């Protein structure tokens, strides 16, 4: 059996696919795994209660239930839900958008597959184009979505040391070069894996660069404002016709329902909708159905601000305190936790790679994600990539506490053995 180059690329990938397989195998074998890897959100009781109420309401309304499970939505997604999202964002953020500016996808991963392959790759009669990540590390899920190899180019960040332990990445604008082969700029905010929130000035400057070069700025807002609002610092959220803004219901608490939300100009939304039709006829409608009332009433904003944000901020502060305690005496740094639900730990001059650390931790029942996966498009060698790990602190306190203890123990063993 012969497979295409793209098929071989997917089959041979050692990125997100392998990590997801590790997660699945760990669960299927029934092991008591301390899950500090992956991107699952917390099961927050107050939020889960709203999901149950919405589901029960849907089940008791036979007409709504029958239509949700028995009918295809349009290729752009549930139109009533889209109208509700449009009204919410217009009211809450003052954006000048309508339903024509929004399309749904089967999760934001699908959205980025569509967008990256629209704006980068091979062009008829012209040179190939690529996606620019102006700051790495960046989201692991971007790595393998290109139909063409070498789809990404990335810049190393500036590193600002806030104190002896805390640092922050910044965009190094002096190193950004928007050449003719750049088809779009992409950033995540808050950034997965580091919890970094690009400053308003950085976003404004990137937006200006994109407009000057007549390319879109794509902002991955999976953890951002106004929902799920897992942001612990002051930040504004802006949109214009040259911005493609991607949101999701996953980090609000519904990852299994795969509901991505793309906000863009009408031309882009038309292309996204048509790609939906080709790839899956239409996006699934269960996420839209469960969240409809929360969107229409604006209660999603209240839950995000008053329940989700403080929940994760408290978790971040508690986990950071434990990291300081357990790693006392070890040379390490932590990226300033400004959002999302990860700690990004940096161990300068770690005697082993974080890939080896990953394997050692997996053998002890702890899953994290080694840092080298989070540098899509960065071609140059950089030791820093092999000195960082991402730790998810969204799980219950007992799991996180036990996992941090084992991480600290393995890191100390690595240094002691050197």
**Nearest by Cα to 185 from 176, 193, 194, 196:** 176
Residues 273, 318 share a domain? no
Q: Give the model's confidence band at 418: pLDDT under 50 very low, under 70 low, under 90 confident, else very high.
A: low
Asked if pLDDT for residue 326 goes beyond 60, the answer is: yes
**CATH number of the CATH domain containing 232:** 3.40.640.10
End-of-domain residue from the set 263, 284, 301: 301
Residues 340, 367 share a domain? yes
Task: Give the domain extent around 103.
Answer: 73-301
Distance CA 312, CA 343 (A): 12
Residues 81, 31 share a domain? no
Could you report the per-residue pLDDT of 113-128, keeping only the tens digit for each?
999 999 998 887 777 8
Q: Are 391 and 371 in contact (CB under 8 A)?
A: no
Could you report the per-residue pLDDT of 50-67, keeping only the tens digit for each?
999 999 999 998 788 899
Q: Do the domain assignments include residue 55?
A: no
Q: 185 phi and psi, to 5 degrees? A: -110, 140
Q: Give the model's confidence band at 18: pLDDT under 50 very low, under 70 low, under 90 confident, else very high.
A: low
Could you report the per-residue pLDDT of 266-281, keeping only the tens digit for each?
999 999 999 999 999 9
Residues 324, 373 share a domain? yes
Q: Do the domain assignments include residue 67?
A: no
Residues 105, 200 share a domain? yes
pTM attached to this predicted model: 0.93
Residues 269, 396 share a domain? no
Q: Do the domain assignments include residue 143?
A: yes
Asked if pLDDT for residue 146 goes beyond 90, the answer is: no
End-of-domain residue from the set 301, 324, 348: 301
End-of-domain residue from the set 281, 301, 321: 301
Residues 311, 290 share a domain? no
Residues 402, 297 share a domain? no
Q: Do the domain assignments include residue 60?
A: no
Distance CA 59, CA 228 (A): 25
Q: Are 220 and 112 in contact (CB under 8 A)?
A: yes
Q: Are 199 and 227 in contact (CB under 8 A)?
A: no
Number of domains in the chain: 2
Residues 279, 393 share a domain? no
Q: Give the model's confidence band at 190: pLDDT under 50 very low, under 70 low, under 90 confident, else very high.
A: very high
Q: Are 99 and 86 in contact (CB under 8 A)?
A: yes
Q: Do the domain assignments include residue 57?
A: no
The fraction of the chain above a pLDDT of 70, given in percent, is: 92
Residues 372, 311 share a domain? yes
Query: What three-state secondary structure class fits 339?
Result: strand
Q: Do the domain assignments include residue 331?
A: yes
Residues 315, 278 share a domain? no
Share the mean pLDDT of the chain.
Answer: 92
Q: Are 391 and 335 in contact (CB under 8 A)?
A: no
Residues 121, 200 share a domain? yes
């Amino acid at each position: 059996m012969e497979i295409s180059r793209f098929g071989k690329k997917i089959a041979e990938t050692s990125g997100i696919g392998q990590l997801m397989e590790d997660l699945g195998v760990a669960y299927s074998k029934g092991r008591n795994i301390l899950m500090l890897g992956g991107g699952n959100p917390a099961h927050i009781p107050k939020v889960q209660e709203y999901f149950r109420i919405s589901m029960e309401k849907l089940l008791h309304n036979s007409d709504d239930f029958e239509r949700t499970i028995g009918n295809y939505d349009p290729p752009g997604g549930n139109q009533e839900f889209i109208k509700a999202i449009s009204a919410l964002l217009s009211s809450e953020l003052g954006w000048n958008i309508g339903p024509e500016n929004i399309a749904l996808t089967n999760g934001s991963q699908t959205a980025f597959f569509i967008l990256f392959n629209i704006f980068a790759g091979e062009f008829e009669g012209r040179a190939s184009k690529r996606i620019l990540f102006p700051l790495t590390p960046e989201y692991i899920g971007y790595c393998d979505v290109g139909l063409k190899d070498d789809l990404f180019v990335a810049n190393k960040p500036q590193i600002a040391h806030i104190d002896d332990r805390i640092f922050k990445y910044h965009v190094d604008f002096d190193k950004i070069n928007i050449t003719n082969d750049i088809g779009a700029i992409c950033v995540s905010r808050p950034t997965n894996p580091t919890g970094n929130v690009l400053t308003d000035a950085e976003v404004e400057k990137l937006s200006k660069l994109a407009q000057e070069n007549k390319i879109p700025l794509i902002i991955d807002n999976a953890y951002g404002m106004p929902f799920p609002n897992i942001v612990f610092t002051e930040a504004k959220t802006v949109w214009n016709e040259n911005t493609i803004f991607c949101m999701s219901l996953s980090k609000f608490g519904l990852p299994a329902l795969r509901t991505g939300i793309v906000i863009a100009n009408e031309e882009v939304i038309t292309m996204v909708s048509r790609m939906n039709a080709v790839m899956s006829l239409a996006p699934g409608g269960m996420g839209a159905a469960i969240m409809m009332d929360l969107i229409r009433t604006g209660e999603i904003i209240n839950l995000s601000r008053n329940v989700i944000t403080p929940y994760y901020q408290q978790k971040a502060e508690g986990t950071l305190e434990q990291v300081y305690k357990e790693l006392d005496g070890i040379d390490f740094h932590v990226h300033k936790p400004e959002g999302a639900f990860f700690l990004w730990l940096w161990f300068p001059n770690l005697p082993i790679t974080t890939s080896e650390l990953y394997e050692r931790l997996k053998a002890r029942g702890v899953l994290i994600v080694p840092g080298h996966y989070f540098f899509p498009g960065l071609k140059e060698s950089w030791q820093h990539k092999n000195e960082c790990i991402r730790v998810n602190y969204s799980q219950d306190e007992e799991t996180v506490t036990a996992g941090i203890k084992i991480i600290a123990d393995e890191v100390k063993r690595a240094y002691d053995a050197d």
